[in-house]
Structure formats: structure tokens, C-alpha cells
Structure 1
Amino acid sequence: MESNYANVETQEIFGHPKGLLYLFFAELWERFSFYGMKALLVLYMTKSLLYSDDKSFGIMAAYMSLVYVTPMIGGMIADKYLGYRKSIILGGVLMAAGHFFLTIEYPVFFYGSLALIIVGNGFFKPNISTMVGTLYTEGDKRRDSGFTIFYLGINLGGAIAPLVCAWIAEIYGWHYGFLLAGIGMLAGLFVFKKGTQSSVFGNKGLVPNIDHYKKKTFGLNRGGLIWLLSWGSVPLFALIIKFNEFEHYLVWIASIFLITYIGYIMIKVTTKERKRLLVAVYFTGLYALFAAVFEQAGSSITLFADRNINLIGINAAQTNSINSIWIVLLAFPFAGLWTFLNKKRINPNSAVKFGLGMLFLGLGFVIFGFSAQGVDEFAKTPMFYLVFGYFIVTVGELFLSPIGLSKITELSPLQYVTFIMGVWFSANFYGHFFAGKIAKLTTVKVGETNPFSQGVLGKITEIITGMSESVLYENTNETFLQLYSYVSVYSNFGVITMGIGVFALMISPFIKRLMEGVH
């Protein structure tokens, strides 16, 4: 296999390898398509397809979790057969097809479209992130800054897409919003292809072993067979989404596979690599907990905004852009902050950053819960708390997510780097699976009790929200009951997440020692 760190491309722009600019814009457009569709999906199901909240959350959780389990498979295939470039092209084509098929309003196309995006993301997502890592030599101090800039591209797409796609969907219809998302995916493919033609990636991302790639099976070379099998797997994923109540079996299968294959890697690598890999697994575990809470955005928080927030100037689907707008505003200051702290030799290590990320995430959700203190007679809360809460959550995200992307490329054994990047994205698989369970806790019916209304949890709810469990018995207004359900869940999970952050900070010295020199 080619070395990922040798012969690094010397062309630079703004102090970073020129290839970063192309990957930045390719990822921007790909994320435009992904987040544009995501912003519409729950509202489309509840308002157009007339699915219940419970069914919509189930489909959303299955779709979003599967989107992040396929990168493990895509990473393995890229490492062994396709290389990063061909994987990115294959993934982009599948995802574009998925977005376009969403414009056809039939159940088979609805589930099939989501399945196409799931399979495509498995090839696209881990490989473009790993391509960023190949642009920097091991130990390059620009790495964290480079990944933060790349993360800005992700969130520029995430900021623009909900605003534009939701606006188009509201004026012209849902399917035009999905169509625009598909066009965004094609734009991302065009930018990446332009980068490969401009030679800004040097020899990075090529087929790792051309003889393995050309070897024929059933008359097709490995590349053609992988394309065929990728399209052929779509019906399987469509069925999993449709029958999402059985998804927990997939969680067990994925977990057994992960544990077995990571155990195999542990045996094959050196002691130093083994210690670093343990840290990569620990960071992935923390990220999964982060995602389970964070990914209420796009599901329960979108409905919370639609039903219980006094929105000004935007609709509920467009609130999905708030987090990404904060990322856009804060990404360069954070990238500059890491560079400045490096020069001063006071940049906190990654284990500390992860703990702080969890703390800020929890605090942001406590703020969402606190919004109930300003509730009006229509069970609406001030929009300020949503915007400010997202600001705090975004600070937490910038401490954790882009730093995680950067560290995974350093902590992973070189020959398994793309698979381990897929493992990192599997945190989103687990996160979205449990995010769906958390979202379902916010569904409410008159007369039902709330798991966060009694005992210690009920006390936490009352202190933060100003609402006691009496609202469940004294108020038959379902809008107030729904508000209580949202803010009680957010308050308690916010406090739990802050506790996890404190624990992560306490054990950070031990984690730092295991990192064997990686900052």
C-alpha cells in the first residue's frame, strides 16, 4: 500500500496544502445536499406523509444511524481495493441518485432513496476525511487547524442548505427542496474531480494495489464488482429503514463485528500503536455519547421549534442552520486559537478538549430546558434561548468533533487508518440510534406520565425549567404538556452530559499517557 504521509503535495495556499481547498469545497457541497435533505425529512414525514411523531423518529433514527455505520465498510473497501478517490466518486454518485429519487412520492422510492444515501455516504464520508489527513506529515502542527478549516466547509454547507432548501420547499413544494439537495451533491463531485485533474493531491488516494483491483470475479474486475454490489445492497438498507423497530439487531451485529475486528487489529500492531488505538476507541465512545444528545437537532428540536418556540424570521426547518452558522462564525477563531496556543505551548491536549466538549454540550441543553422559564400563555418560549443554547453546544462541538477527526488520523495504525476513520463515524451510528430513543421520550399524550417528572429527575426538571410535574395533571392543554416533555428531557440529559464531561477531564492525564506523544 502507498504511504499516506510520504511525498506530501508541496503546493500551499493560506499556509495549508492546496489540496485542502478542493476537499473543503467538495465537502461543503456534499454536506449542503446532506443537511438540506435532513432539515426537511422529519417535517416532510409528519406534515406531508402524515406519519406519527413516533414513526418519523424511528425512520429518522434508523436512517441517520445507518448513514454512519456504512463508513466502516466503505473504509475497509477503500483501504484494500478502491483507494480514497474512486470511493469518493462512487459514494457521490449513489448519494446524488438518492436525493433525486426523493422527488418521486412513492413509498418504494422514499425508502430506496434513503438507502442510496446511506450506501453512498459509506464510501464518501470516511475517505474524504482521510484524504485531509494525508495532506499533512505526522506531527505537523497545522493538522488541528487544517481539520478545523475543513470542518468549516462541512458547516458552511450545513448552514446554507436548511435555509435555502427549506425556503424552496415552502414556496414550490417538498420535492423541489430535495431536488436542490441533489444538485448540491453533483456540485461536490465536480469540485473533487477538478482537484484530481489539477494534481493537487499528488499521489494520494490512488488504488492501493492495482493487481488486486484488476483481478476478475464473475467476469468483472474488483472495482466493477464493488459498484454492482453497492447498488445491489440498496434494497436491504431500505428494508431496515422501513422495519426500523428491529434495528437493535443491527446494533448487536455491528458491535460484535467492531469488537472482533478491532481486537484483531490490536493483535497485529505494535505496543505503541495498540495504546494509541485504545485512545481512538475511547474518543469514539465519548463521541457516541456526544452524538446521542447532540443529534436531537433535526428530530425532536426541530419539532420543539415548530410547536413551542416563538420563531422570528425563520421556520422550523431553517432552525437546523443555526448550529452550522455558529460553526461558520467560530471555526476560524478556533483554528487561530489552536495555532496561538501551540506557539505559547499551552494548547490543552485532546483528552482535555473532549472533556470540555461534553461539558459545553450539556450546558447548551440545560439552556434549552431553561427556556421554559420564559414561557407565554401559548406555551411558546423565547427564540433567544434556542439561538444561545446552540451557541454553547457549538462551542462544545468545536472542542470535540474536528479535533477527533484530526486525532483519529494520527492515532490509527497507518495500514488501518481508513477503517478506524470509519469506526470514528460509527459513533454517529450509535449516537443516532440512541438519539432516536431520547427523541421518543419527548412524545406525549394527555394522561401519560413523564419519566423525568418524579424523584431526583423531577427535581432537576423543576429547578431548571421552573415547571413541576403538576403540569401533567392540572393542564389538559397538549401544547403545554408537549413543552414540559421537551424541556424535561433536555434538562436531565444536559446535566448527565455535564457529569460525563467532568469525569473525562478527571481521567485526561491517564489518557494523555496512552497517546504516546500525540498531542
Structure 2
Amino acid sequence: MKNHTSTKDVLGHPRGLLYLFFAELWERFSFYGMRALLVLYMTKHLLFTDEMSFGIYAAYMSLVYVTPMIGGMLADKVLGFRKAIVLGGVLMALGHFFLTFEQPIFFYGSLSLIIIGNGFFKPNISSFVGKLYNEGDTRRDAGFTIFYMGINIGGAVAPLLCAWLAELYGWHYGFVLAGIGMLLGLLVFKKGLNNNVFDEHGAVPNLAVYNQKRFGIKMGSLITVCALLFVPVFALIVRYHQFEHYLVWIVSLFLVLYIINVLRNVTVSERQKLLVAVYFTVLYTVFSAIFEQAGSSLTLFADRNVNLIGINAAQTNSINSSFIILFAIPFSMLWMYLNKINKNPNSVIKFGIGVALLGLGFVVFAMSAYQVDEFAKTPMLYLIIGYLVLTMGELFLSPIGLSKITELSPTKYVAFIMGVWFSANFYGHFFAGKIANLTTVSEGDLGMFSNGLLGEITTFITGMSSEVILSKEPIFHQLYSYVSVYSGFGFFTFLIGVLVMIFSKKIKRMMQNVH
């Protein structure tokens, strides 16, 4: 049975894509609007230290991407995509609105509601996009790139508007606007359901299981109750983020055991493709750990050490998404054109290019130190060019990864494997917090990137030596801590991307008919 008919196509794609595009746009508006404010809110308003703020931010952002594994499984077995997306959206909206209350219980509880809500929303709306296309449909990559543009329209506009409101009227107005964005996303999705644009896709997979009672409550309703009961659990994990590494081990054990179980219950062909999906997820973890400095250390770098023109530090979070908007459609058209002439590089090569460009982007951030002024401020141009380069890398990797995961996953496990894909962000944010902490300054100590080979790499890329910096004012020490970390991680990330391309052929063979 076909997943769509040509009469339901809009601009060459299934009509349902349009509704999912706008639903995800508004959901990401809410998410990125709040994210842009969070570290600055903690350091400037709540007066948390850099280390504590990075820890809370990393714990929150990593948990946001571990819950999709659970949300994906529950959608596969009980809820279906539709009900999971609605439940997730409601929880996230509540989380944004509760951030307007300043008591600690509301602060940590709000982050927990968003964490749990995202687990139901994020993997299932992405999997829904995959369901709109037949297997082998050459429009799939282009469709996911368009969907990805919707994510980034929300991501570009939200920091500008939410940060503007926060600066003009107060932090809480920015958080309220983020919550309104989430409600708009829910309304768009409900309109799509009412207009029946998704045909039979995303409905409850088994009504008997959904209506089955446990403790006198239907399974579908019990999931909602359990989601609310876990709010204080995740709130405590964020509050005591220094113990999060125990959760990392628990999640890793669960992932390994569940994936082994899946591998034992699929065909040889499906097993090989699933192993490639795991490989892509590992690469995405590396990408995420470096890329996600954007919401933490890069925001503080922009605030403290960049001569910003026309925007504030929170609004710099929109630069990446703005470039995505500019280039998503051209990239989508490029993949379709290269398909027609049989010159489209395979997905492994695209991943390698993406990782290499990410590394180059951070090298550009580090090179800004060559033009530092007497106030330890660097030109904004380097920040913009660095974001441009890493955005190109993101377009080579992230939307392609979304597309390939839906193709490489066994059909009955697709939402769970999509959750595994998003777990890369869980690990990525956990390690991103560790990397961000390397940028904090201790008196007389410039960190591990100031000595030996790492110190030589830093000096080559930034033009700054640790000996000269130690003789300057503390604000220069802070600048050095940022650019030294960016130069080291940028250099080694670039090398990883090159190695991925060199060893791509074997991985491509394991993908079989998936390009």
C-alpha cells in the first residue's frame, strides 16, 4: 500500500510534510528560545557560577535527548505517533510557562517537564516524516532537509524575539513567549489531524494494548500518569548534575542490551544496516559534543570576548539557524540534482564532510584571537564565518542522518532507533558540558590546552602563547581559555572527519541498497 498519492502532494512532497514542518517549527521556536536564555539567565540573574551553569545546562540538554528512546518505544508499542506528539507538546508548554516562577522547585521542575515532553514529541514527529515516503523514494533526503529547515526557522527567530523581550521587559517574558510557541505547534499538528492529511499513519498501533488496564487505569492513561510522576526524578537529576555520570552508565547499559536484543531478532540484512545506524549515531555523538558549545561556552564567549554589533549574546544563538534557512533549500535541490545525474555522494562521505567542516568552524572561532583588541575582544566577523562553516557541516550530517535512520531501521523498531539516534545528543551534551568546563578560568592556570603538543596547536591556530597571556590581565586569560579549547577540539574533529571519508567503503557495503 502506498504511503501517499500524487494528488495529495504539495510542491512535490506529501501534504502531511507541510503540517509536520510547521508543528516542528513552533516546537523548536519554544525550545531554542528558552535555550538561548538559559545559561545567561543562570549566570546573570540567578548568579550561578560558570561551572554550575554549565553543569545544569549539560544535564538538562543531555536528558532532553535520552527521553526520546523511551518515548519512541512507548509510541511503537502503545501510543502511536499522534498521541505521543500531543502529550509531549502539552508537557513542554507547561514547562516553559512554569519557568516564569522564580522558586527553585519551579525552575528545576520546569526543566524536567520539558525533558519528559521532548521525549514524547521529538522522535515521533521525525519518524512521522519518514512514514510519509515509500521505501526507496528518492525525495526522502530532500523532504527531511525541508523538515530540517522548519526546525531552524524556529531556531533562528526564537533567540531574536525571546532575547529581545527578555532584555526589554525581563527574563520571564522571554520564557512565556517560548511557551506560546509550543502551543502554536500543538494547534498546527491538531489541525493536520483534523484535516486527515496523515491518512492512517501514526494512529494507536494496537487498541487492545492501549485499552488494557493496569492498576485499574488504561495503559494509554497510565503512561501520562507515569510521565508526571517522573517529573521530580528528572528535576533532582538536573539539580544534582554532578552525579549524572551514573545515569550515563545506566543508559549505556540499557542501550547496549536492548540493541543486542534487536540485533538477535532481525534478519542478517537488517542487522548489517542497523549496525550502520549505530555507527552513524556514534559519529553524531562526536559532532554533538563539539557543536553544542553553541548554547553554553560559545554564548559566554560572545558575551565576554566578541565585539557584538546589532545583537546581544543570547541572540547569537540564531546565527546557525539563520544560515540553515538560507542554505537548506539549495542543499535539498543539490541532492535532488546530484541524484538525477548519479553523482550524489553516499551518506558516509556526507557524514565525514560534515564532521570535518564542524572542526574547521571551531578553528575559525579560535583564529579570531589574531585580531584581539586591548579589551580582549575579537571581531564579530570570525563568529559569523565560524558559524557559517559549521552550519555547512550540519547540513551534510544532521538532516541526512535523520533520513538514513528511518531507512536503516527495521520497520517495527523505527521509533526506538530514532530515539537511539537522538541519544547521540544525550551523550553529546554530557561531554559538551565537560568541554565547556575546560573553558572556565582558574587563577594562574590556563588549562590542558596550554602545554605540550596541545599548546603548540593552540599557538599555531590562535597566535597566542601561554607565556605571553599569563603576563596580561585576567580578561585575556578568559579569552585564551575559550580559543585554546576551540583550537584543540576543532583540529582533532577535522581529523576524525577525514578518517571517516578514508574508511567509508566498507560501511557503504553494509548499507546495501540504502544510499
CA contact (8 A) 1:7 1:203 kept: no
Residues of 2 paired with 1:92 and 1:166: CA distance? 22
Q: Does 1:28 align with 2:25?
A: yes
What residue number does 1:262 align with? 259
Across the two proteins, how many residue pairs are aligned to each other?
514
What residue number does 1:325 align with? 322
What residue number does 1:144 align with? 141
What residue number does 1:408 align with? 405
Q: State the one-letter code of the partner of 2:220.
A: G
Q: Does 1:218 align with 2:215?
A: yes
Deviation at 1:218, TM superposition (A): 1.5
Q: Does 1:171 align with 2:171?
A: no
Task: Please list the CA deviations of residues 464-495 of structure 1 after superposition, one character each: whole Å capped at 9, or x if unmatched.
Answer: 100001134312x1110000000000001000
What residue number does 1:277 align with? 274
CA contact (8 A) 1:442 1:489 kept: yes
Deviation at 1:7, TM superposition (A): 4.0
Residues of 2 paired with 1:9 and 1:260: CA distance? 40
What residue number does 1:512 align with? 508
Task: Please list the CA deviations of residues 32-62 of structure 1 after superposition, one character each: whole Å capped at 9, or x if unmatched.
Answer: 0000000000000000000000000000000
Q: Does 1:480 align with 2:492?
A: no
CA contact (8 A) 1:290 1:358 kept: yes
Q: Which of 474, 486, 489 matches 1:490?
A: 486
Residues 311 and 449 (structure 1), Cα distance of their counterparts in 2 relative to 1, 3 Å cut: closer
Alignment of 1:216-365 (within 5 A): 216-365=213-362
Alignment of 1:436-475 (within 5 A): 436-475=433-472
Deviation at 1:9, TM superposition (A): 5.3
Residues of 1 paired with 2:227 and 2:250: CA distance? 20
CA contact (8 A) 1:9 1:202 kept: no
Residues of 2 paired with 1:515 and 1:480: CA distance? 49
Residues of 2 paired with 1:106 and 1:249: CA distance? 27
**Deviating more after overlay: 440-449 vs 370-379:** 440-449
Q: Which of 415, 420, 428 matches 1:418?
A: 415
Q: Does 1:12 align with 2:14?
A: no
Residues of 1 paired with 2:442 and 2:178: CA distance? 35
Q: State the one-letter code of the partner of 2:294.
A: A
Task: Please list the CA deviations of residues 290-311 of structure 1 after superposition, one character each: whole Å capped at 9, or x if unmatched.
Answer: 0000000010000000000000
What residue number does 1:156 align with? 153
Identity, in percent, stands at 68
Q: Which of 425, 429, 437 matches 2:426?
A: 429
For the residue of structure 2 that corresponds to 1:452, the secondary structure is helix
- Structure 2, gaps ≥5 residues long: none
Q: TM-score under structure 2 normalisation?
A: 0.99
Residues of 2 paired with 1:162 and 1:478: CA distance? 30
Q: Which of 71, 75, 81 matches 1:74?
A: 71
Residues of 2 paired with 1:226 and 1:469: CA distance? 55
Deviation at 1:445, TM superposition (A): 2.4
CA contact (8 A) 2:162 2:174 kept: yes
Runs of 4+ that moved beyond 6 A: none
CA contact (8 A) 1:374 1:382 kept: yes
Q: TM-score under structure 1 normalisation?
A: 0.98
Task: Please list the CA deviations of residues 86-139 of structure 1 after superposition, one character each: whole Å capped at 9, or x if unmatched.
Answer: 000000000000000000000000000000000000000000000000000000
For the residue of structure 1 that corresponds to 2:450, the secondary structure is coil
What residue number does 1:502 align with? 498
Residues of 1 paired with 2:470 and 2:96: CA distance? 45
Deviation at 1:219, TM superposition (A): 1.6
Deviation at 1:6, TM superposition (A): 4.5
Residues of 2 paired with 1:448 and 1:60: CA distance? 24
For the residue of structure 1 that corresponds to 2:4, the secondary structure is coil
Residues of 2 paired with 1:179 and 1:247: CA distance? 29
Residues of 1 paired with 2:5 and 2:79: CA distance? 21
Deviation at 1:446, TM superposition (A): 2.2
Residues of 1 paired with 2:457 and 2:27: CA distance? 40
What residue number does 1:48 align with? 45
Q: State the one-letter code of the partner of 1:417.
A: V
Q: Does 1:373 align with 2:370?
A: yes
What residue number does 1:127 align with? 124
Deviation at 1:447, TM superposition (A): 1.1
Q: State the one-letter code of the partner of 2:211.
A: K
**Deviating more after overlay: 65-74 vs 500-509:** 500-509
Residues of 2 paired with 1:121 and 1:318: CA distance? 23
What residue number does 2:379 align with? 382
CA contact (8 A) 1:371 1:385 kept: yes
- Structure 1, gaps ≥5 residues long: none
